[in-house]
Amino acid sequence: MTLYINTASYDEIIIALKDGSKTIAQKKIKAPRRQAEKLVPAIDALLKARKIKLSALKKVVVSSRGGSFTSLRIGVITANALAFALKIPVEAEEKSMKNNKKFGPYSLVEPLYDREPNIGISKKPKL
């Protein structure tokens, strides 16, 4: 079972559970600049709705490119933390970017930003 995480958009989270190439469950959550608050509870709810335990996960795949600096970072950090805690592999959705780094028995995904981070200056999202 693979957990897919995409937080590249500043206003949306996409998570999915996949068994091989088959998508078992997928959820899109509106979260304008609130991915940090909503991502982990959404993953928990998706797993519980399908009666799947965290221990059933065998891999985490995360979108690691594009989008806003902070929202992208939230998804990548969450994927890395889950994979590390569960001792399972994590990989970037964009495998060809070769941004998976091996550190001993586990790997990490590094985010690839498409522009310089603009930290501290934010625009209010349209609600």
CATH code for position 60: 3.30.420.40
pLDDT in tens, 80-102: 999 999 999 998 887 544 445 55
Overall domain count for the chain: 1
Instruction: Decide if pLDDT at 42 tops 90.
Output: yes
- 28 within a domain of the structure (yes/no): yes
- 43 within a domain of the structure (yes/no): yes
- 77 within a domain of the structure (yes/no): yes
Which residue in 62, 70, 77, 74 sits closest to 115, CA to CA? 70
Cα atoms in the Cβ-side hemisphere of radius 13 Å centred on 96: 0
The token duo for 56 is 């059933």
Q: Is 27 helix (H, G, I), strand (E, B) or coil?
A: strand
Rounded mean pLDDT of 69-84?
89
- 86 within a domain of the structure (yes/no): yes
**Residue 59: partners with Cβ closer than 8 Å, 6 or more residues away:** 2, 3, 83, 88, 89, 90, 91
Roughly what angle, to the nearest 10 degrees, separates helices 69-86 and 35-49?
A: 40
Q: Residue 100 in contact with residue 91, Cβ under 8 Å?
A: yes
Q: Considering the entire predicted model, what is its pTM?
A: 0.77
- 25 within a domain of the structure (yes/no): yes
- 115 within a domain of the structure (yes/no): no
Q: Residue 54 in contact with residue 47, Cβ under 8 Å?
A: yes
The whole-number pLDDT of residue 97 equals: 40
- 119 within a domain of the structure (yes/no): no
Domain that holds residue 29: 2-109
The whole-number pLDDT of residue 34 equals: 84
- 24 within a domain of the structure (yes/no): yes
